[in-house]
Structure 1
Amino acid sequence: MLLATAVNFSLTNAASAQVALDIQYLRQEVPPPPVLSNLDRIPEDLGIAGGEVGLADNATTGRFMGQDWTLTVTSVPEGGDWAGAVETALAESPLLLIDAPRENLLAASDIAGEAGALLFNVAVEDSDLRAGACRANVFHTIPSYAMRTDALVQMLRVKRWEDVALVEGQTPEDLVYAEALRASLTKFGMELGSETDWTFDADMRRSASAEVPLLTQELGEYDVLLVSDERQDFGRYILYNTWLPRPVAGSEGLTASAWSPSVEQWGAAQLQSRFTEHAGRDMAPRDYAAWAALRSLGEAVTRTGSATAPDLRAYFLGDEFELAGFLGRPLTFRPWNGQLRQPIPIVHPRALIAQAPLEGFLHQVNELDTLGQDRAEAECTAFE
């Protein structure tokens, strides 16, 4: 009788605590840019699949906590009404994942600010959005360019590859990434020895062996060649075609990335297999960012017992929030700019080489803050 009474009491409490959470995933469709190779196809569910796996993880725990999780995906076609889509999503939920270019993210932040909503950026890596252009209602689960380039330059210092050359692509993403590389080299006491621009638009499948040696011969002596090619366009043709036999790193070769199929330690293989079973492909950085956003919400709702944006925001910025992210260390949000602190895997396509922050790079509070903008560097006043 006592057991039956306890069970009934528990079920009554669970029913009274039932909370429905509808997470809105907003994606701005962007036409794929022209590239030199057709080998790499952009998955139609890029990012979305990661959110779906995160949702399933939340639902597993949520069933016992009186939580009912749903994920609503809205894709806005090119030239579509982005502002209208944001307003429609806000009418349904104050919790939004934004998978869209920079200008769309900022527009969504402005609209959501009036509604007191909380946004998660899962796509835009621009470092200034974690600095002077930060927004108080935007949390970032995708690492910034600065976090990725800081991780890579830490690796260069450890390897003592101090003579550095650069081949810089000319797309907007390439230019921003190259600038982040220069800033990271300066941050860790290194200099860029020589550089050149990638200006070829010919079919590299036929001419790489002739053109790349001539291009890289002009760079002189160097220990490592950095490549800025964020669209993964021409960088593949630089490997093994350089004038000098030297390692290639940056956007190609040895890369620093939010996530990689080669990450298997710390239980990551289990996440990788669950994702592959769900999506039929490998997990990409944007998928991981969406997964981390959903799991952060799941952790916060469970710990606080609240689903309101102000309560969740306060918990994210406090000392108690931690997320087990399969990267060997607890993930937390930086209270000065809303960036998710996370280790950065340094990989090539077949193996994990290291994980930043590397040994010897110390910080007075958290070694993860050696990656990207620290509190003093960020100059983000929106979170004060």
Structure 2
Amino acid sequence: MAALAAVLLAGTPGAGAAAQTVAEIRIGLLSQTPEPPPSVSNPDEPTADDGLAGANLAIADNNTTGKFLKQTFLLDSVEVPPDGDAAAALRELAGRGDRFVIVDAPGATVEALSKLPEARNLLLLNANAPDDTLRGSACAANLVHVAPSRAMLADALGQYLVKKRWPRWFLVTGRRPEDKLYADAIRRTAKRFGAQIVAEKEWTAESDVNRTAESEIPVFTQAKAYDVLIVADEVGEFGDYLSYRTADPRPVAGTQGLVPTVWHRTHEQWGAAQLQSRFKAAAKRPMTARDHNDWTAVRVVGEVAARTRSADPDRLIAFIQSPDFTMSAFRGAPLSLRPWDGQLRQPVLLAADRSVVSVSPQEGFLHPRTELDSLGYDQPETLCKTRGKTTP
């Protein structure tokens, strides 16, 4: 359609000069979805355009404003198979002239791409990898994190549990490396906010939990007195089966149960209802957290292009990384960038299956700069050595 419009304009007397004044801003989207382990049975079929639909809506939002500023935004999308060559895909996007590339891929892929020579002059926007190492020892000056880190998610949950006076936690961890990273984040949160992990267990059962949950989980969850069971099961192997089956009647939180997340289909505050409606009209389904992260990443570029009234990539990148950058993401407080690790500050929703329960940071968790910095690694804690430490 964009090419057809250009042809039509070129054939219109006097339109050539006007068309040349429209600045084109290209944004790449590199997606890679890992295959779920064979042991995981997901009753919700994943949508083929998860993430991409959010990016497409954001492109439309950018162009709504851009037409008044003589800017047009184009999305170049590449889907990389789980065993595919993400580096080749990034080179392809860079070859098309994409200086902004949203990377919706596992943390290992994000880290590897950020180190490529071809990425040196790009701004990579990490849309969904929560790995704390990407904000710490593996941080990069060309990498901005749209998704919250595991530490931020854990702190968001921990603040609420402490506020509810549920300080005794029973931590159940899955067998996979990412589960252990989530559990590490929960342990850090407990120490940070004065909670106590009174018991820990690792889920190692080889049986089909869908068939054995009623008999197996009550025995597995016998533990000393605790207030809430926190589960670390990022791929969803067993965590959904814990609620209502524990030996003691206790709430479940973490990767299942009460979940810290950037988005939820029932979220309606701060103008979110309008975004939900527009997304549903375009995609014919509710917006997911992955959709919202990809939407936010594209909107970051659109926001700075509108604020600066510029399409110069270098100027836009500098503004994103500056203390002046803020934008709305329909979660209350505006987003801004932490200069010490490239992480976007942001509120985190706490959601059950069919409702948003609360939003963190919680009232009373103060910070001298902004309460949003009470979530995740603060400036004195950072292990990032490749970014400036200037406080905005």
TM-score, structure 1 normalization: 0.93
SS in 2 for 1:330: coil
Distance 2:112 2:186 in 1: 28
Task: Give the CA deviation at 1:29.
Answer: 4.2
Moved more, 172-181 or 107-116: 107-116
Matched, 1:47 2:74: no
In structure 1, the partner of 2:300 is 296
- Alpha carbons of structure 1 residues 132 and 53: separation in structure 2 relative to 1, 3 Å: same
- Alpha carbons of structure 1 residues 353 and 66: separation in structure 2 relative to 1, 3 Å: same
- Alpha carbons of structure 1 residues 236 and 78: separation in structure 2 relative to 1, 3 Å: closer
In structure 2, the partner of 1:344 is 348
Specify which of 85, 103, 114 is matched with residue 98 of structure 1. Answer: 103
Specify which of 180, 187, 193 is matched with residue 185 of structure 2. Answer: 180
Task: Give the CA deviation at 1:112.
Answer: 5.4
Task: Give the CA deviation at 1:87.
Answer: 0.9
SS in 2 for 1:193: strand
Counterparts of 1:149-164 in structure 2, within 5 Å, are: 149-164=154-169
Distance 2:174 2:342 in 1: 30
Contact 1:15 1:66 (C-alpha < 8 Å) held by counterparts: no
- Alpha carbons of structure 1 residues 341 and 87: separation in structure 2 relative to 1, 3 Å: same
In structure 2, the partner of 1:3 is none
| Residue deviations 1:232-254 (CA, integer Å, cap 9, x gap) | 22111111000000111111111
| Residue deviations 1:159-179 (CA, integer Å, cap 9, x gap) | 110111111111122111111
Distance 2:170 2:236 in 1: 19
| Residue deviations 1:127-160 (CA, integer Å, cap 9, x gap) | 1211121111011111100110000000111011
Task: Please report the RMSD computed on the Cα atoms of aligned residues, expressed in angstroms.
Answer: 1.8
Specify which of 192, 195, 198 is matched with residue 193 of structure 1. Answer: 198
In structure 1, the partner of 2:73 is 69
In structure 2, the partner of 1:275 is 279
SS in 2 for 1:75: strand
Distance 2:271 2:310 in 1: 29
Moved more, 53-62 or 40-49: 40-49
Distance 1:194 1:308 in 2: 54
- Alpha carbons of structure 1 residues 114 and 262: separation in structure 2 relative to 1, 3 Å: closer
Q: Which amino acid aligns with 1:283?
A: M
In structure 2, the partner of 1:82 is 86
In structure 1, the partner of 2:4 is none
Q: How many aligned positions are there? A: 373
Specify which of 359, 366, 374 is matched with residue 362 of structure 1. Answer: 366
In structure 2, the partner of 1:204 is 209
Matched, 1:131 2:136: yes
In structure 2, the partner of 1:259 is 263
Matched, 1:18 2:22: yes
Distance 2:296 2:269 in 1: 17
| Residue deviations 1:176-231 (CA, integer Å, cap 9, x gap) | 111111111111122211011111132222211110000011x1211111111111
Distance 1:318 1:29 in 2: 31
Contact 1:169 1:175 (C-alpha < 8 Å) held by counterparts: yes
Task: Give the CA deviation at 1:277.
Answer: 1.7
Distance 1:374 1:246 in 2: 32
In structure 2, the partner of 1:170 is 175
| Residue deviations 1:68-93 (CA, integer Å, cap 9, x gap) | 11111111223333222111111111
Distance 2:18 2:237 in 1: 52
Matched, 1:121 2:126: yes
Q: Which amino acid aligns with 1:104?
A: T
Structure 1: runs of 5+ lacking an equivalent? 1-10
Contact 1:332 1:340 (C-alpha < 8 Å) held by counterparts: yes
Task: Give the CA deviation at 1:285.
Answer: 1.5
Task: Give the CA deviation at 1:14.
Answer: 7.2
Moved more, 33-42 or 347-356: 33-42
Matched, 1:287 2:297: no
Task: Give the CA deviation at 1:37.
Answer: 2.7
Distance 1:113 1:91 in 2: 9
Task: Give the CA deviation at 1:46.
Answer: 1.4
SS in 1 for 2:270: coil
Task: Give the CA deviation at 1:322.
Answer: 1.4
Q: Please identify runs of 4+ aligned residues in structure 1 that moved more than 4 A.
A: 11-17, 112-115
Distance 2:354 2:138 in 1: 37
Distance 1:293 1:114 in 2: 17
Matched, 1:327 2:347: no
Task: Give the CA deviation at 1:103.
Answer: 2.3
Structure 2: runs of 5+ lacking an equivalent? 1-14
Task: Give the CA deviation at 1:114.
Answer: 5.4
Moved more, 355-364 or 219-228: 219-228
